Amino acid sequence: MTSTPSCQQDTLLTRAGRDPGAYAGYVNPPLFRGSTILARDFETWDDAQAAGGPYARYGRFGSPSIRAFETALSELEGGHASHVFPSGLAACTHVLMSFLRSGDHVLITDNVYGPTRNFADHVLRDFGIEVEYFPPALGAAIGSRLRARTRLVFLETPGSLTFEMTDVPAIERAAHAAGALVAIDNSWASPLYFKPFEHGADISVQAATKYILGHSDALLGAVTCNEHAWRIFQPRIGLFGATAGPEDVNLALRGLRTLGVRLRQHWQSGLALATAMTCHPAVVRVLHPALPGDPGHALWKRDFLGASGLFGFVLGSEQKPVLSAFFGALKHFGIGLSWGGFESLALPVGRPARLAGWHETGTLIRIHAGLEDPQDLIQDMLAALDVAHALGASASNTPRLPPADKP
């Protein structure tokens, strides 16, 4: 793979991971499918064993198109090397299993992605790993939670349900002083709007399903490491048998080329929508770190280069008829899991029951602002909020939505 010259980020997006000269001039890397890879002769086979072991030449261990995506991603993230996985959760779980052993202690931010938390609670604990959650705003005070057995601090900033910000550099300094590594789920900001390695992280996890793919038509995850973490992670990658599909990887390469223009639109639409919602009487609170009044705004402004289209708000009712009327009135927002695609979504979360610091009264709803016209999204959302507000008083004695955590 040819190296990419130093350039601005949008130019890097169009060039990274491409080598037309290696593929008869084709502008995109071809799609490689296959399991068996034949060696040209015995000497070629024998050389491969010395370089990568007996399984170095096999489809499960990558292809030129997979290498192209991994090269592009590591350049965008500013890391040493990357590896692609079949889903974002697979990327998270591989990090946890690769850097932790029985008897270790791991610190995980309390607002972490729900499936990651489920894995920690139901798999890591079963393997004798002590799991401890800490408040996202703890910052440098995390030093009091670190122990001699703490091997990893796992962050997500902002959290993809409640959107609290975390002081990554302060946590990194404390963790590294105690000999622990720092991993961060960077799916919200993508490689464009937060640079984990510039802020001291050792490992970055991406749910490439979200903004990198960008079209809600495939699943993919990725892990990027600095050189020290890669030396630990790389030998363990192949042991789990997880392989990303070639078609999905090619879709991710396609998505990278337009990530810059898409993400700017998501940022603009999401912030405009969040701003328009802040004064509506049906809304208790809007959760968006790019809003000046948000508790995490100062950290976002200091550390981030932009925002995505994902944010939340608290609707001032827990009554099912009100929720039904609100969602029924939305025309441009679908109800569905995931985010990062071209389409707008509104997800009824309820109460994030496992989050210790959550004390809001009302129903948490997560919003993803897609690529529709922002004025259409604003008008649609405000009209639905009007419906919910008008119905709120008459629905005061009806059943409530139960607590739930959604991925």
The residues, any chain, with a CB within 8 Å of residue 77's CB and separated by 6 or more, are: 186, 191, 195, 196, 197, 204, 206, 224
Q: How far is the C-alpha of 77 from the C-alpha of 95, rounded, in Å?
A: 17
Same-domain pairing of 62 and 149: yes
Same-domain pairing of 224 and 352: no
Tell me which residue of 96, 80, 54 sits closest to 240, measured CA to CA. Answer: 96
Q: How far is the C-alpha of 229 from the C-alpha of 202, rounded, in Å?
A: 6
The type of residue at 82 is S
The residues, any chain, with a CB within 8 Å of residue 231's CB and separated by 6 or more, are: none
- Name the pLDDT band for 405 (thresholds 50, 70, 90): very low
Same-domain pairing of 197 and 96: yes
Same-domain pairing of 160 and 213: yes
Give the SS3 label for residue 359.
coil
Domain boundary (256, 287, 309) is at 256
- Name the pLDDT band for 395 (thresholds 50, 70, 90): low
What are the structure tokens assigned to 288, written together? 């968006």
Q: Which long-range contacts (CB under 8 A, 24 or more apart) does 121-125 make?
A: 123/93, 124/96, 124/100
Element holding 156 (H helix, E strand): strand 150-156
The confidence score (pLDDT) of residue 398 equals 47
H-state helical runs in 126-245: 168-177, 190-193, 227-237
Tell me which residue of 345, 349, 405 sits closest to 381, measured CA to CA. Answer: 345
What are the structure tokens assigned to 86, written together? 């079949």
Cα 160 → chain centroid: 8
Answer yes or no: is 3 within a domain: no
**Per-residue b/e over 233-255, b at no fewer than 16 CB within 10 Å?**
beeebbeeebbbebebbbbbbeb
Residue given tokens 């798999």 in the structure block: 123
- Give the least confident one: 59-63, 127-131, 328-332: 59-63
Answer yes or no: is 47 within a domain: yes
Tell me which residue of 205, 214, 143 sits closest to 180, measured CA to CA. Answer: 143
User: Which residue among 185, 202, 248, 303 is the active-site one?
Assistant: 185
Residue 330: how many CA atoms within 13 Å on its side-chain side?
21
* CATH number, residue 304: 3.90.1150.10
User: Which residue among 145, 210, 262, 351 is the active-site one?
Assistant: 210
Same-domain pairing of 266 and 368: yes
The better pLDDT of the pair 5, 320 is held by 320
**Catalytic (active site) residue 60:** yes
Residue given tokens 């944010």 in the structure block: 311
The type of residue at 206 is Q
Domains of the chain: total: 2
Same-domain pairing of 250 and 264: no
Answer yes or no: is 115 within a domain: yes
Eight-state DSSP code of residue 304? -
Domain boundary (256, 271, 306) is at 256
Answer yes or no: is 105 within a domain: yes
CB 376 within 8 A of CB 273: no
Same-domain pairing of 240 and 385: no
- Give the least confident one: 56-65, 275-284, 333-342, 382-391: 56-65
* CATH number, residue 66: 3.40.640.10
Residue 331: how many CA atoms within 13 Å on its side-chain side?
10
Answer yes or no: is 334 within a domain: yes
| pTM higher than the cut 0.85 | yes
Same-domain pairing of 71 and 142: yes
Domain boundary (222, 256, 290) is at 256
Angle between helices 88-99 and 227-237 (to 10 degrees): 100
The confidence score (pLDDT) of residue 394 equals 56
Q: How far is the C-alpha of 49 from the C-alpha of 378, rounded, in Å?
A: 59
Mean pLDDT of the 47-66 span = 73
Q: How far is the C-alpha of 355 from the C-alpha of 111, rounded, in Å?
A: 7
Burial of residue 56 (CB within 10 Å: 0-12, 13-18, 19+) is: middle
Same-domain pairing of 269 and 283: yes
Same-domain pairing of 60 and 193: yes
Answer yes or no: is 96 within a domain: yes
Domain residues for 81?
A: 9-256
Answer yes or no: is 2 within a domain: no
**How long, in residues, is the chain?**
407
- Name the pLDDT band for 401 (thresholds 50, 70, 90): very low
350, β-bridge pairs = 364
User: Which residue among 67, 113, 366, 380 is the active-site one?
Assistant: 113
The confidence score (pLDDT) of residue 173 equals 97
Give the SS3 label for residue 228.
helix
User: Which residue among 10, 33, 55, 60 is the active-site one?
Assistant: 60
Eight-state DSSP code of residue 392? H
Same-domain pairing of 94 and 219: yes
**Catalytic (active site) residue 185:** yes
The confidence score (pLDDT) of residue 240 equals 86
Same-domain pairing of 153 and 218: yes
Does 91 score more than 80 pLDDT? yes
Tell me which residue of 160, 166, 162 sits closest to 199, measured CA to CA. Answer: 166
The confidence score (pLDDT) of residue 258 equals 96
Answer yes or no: is 402 within a domain: no
Q: How far is the C-alpha of 240 from the C-alpha of 90, rounded, in Å?
A: 10
Does 193 score more than 50 pLDDT? yes
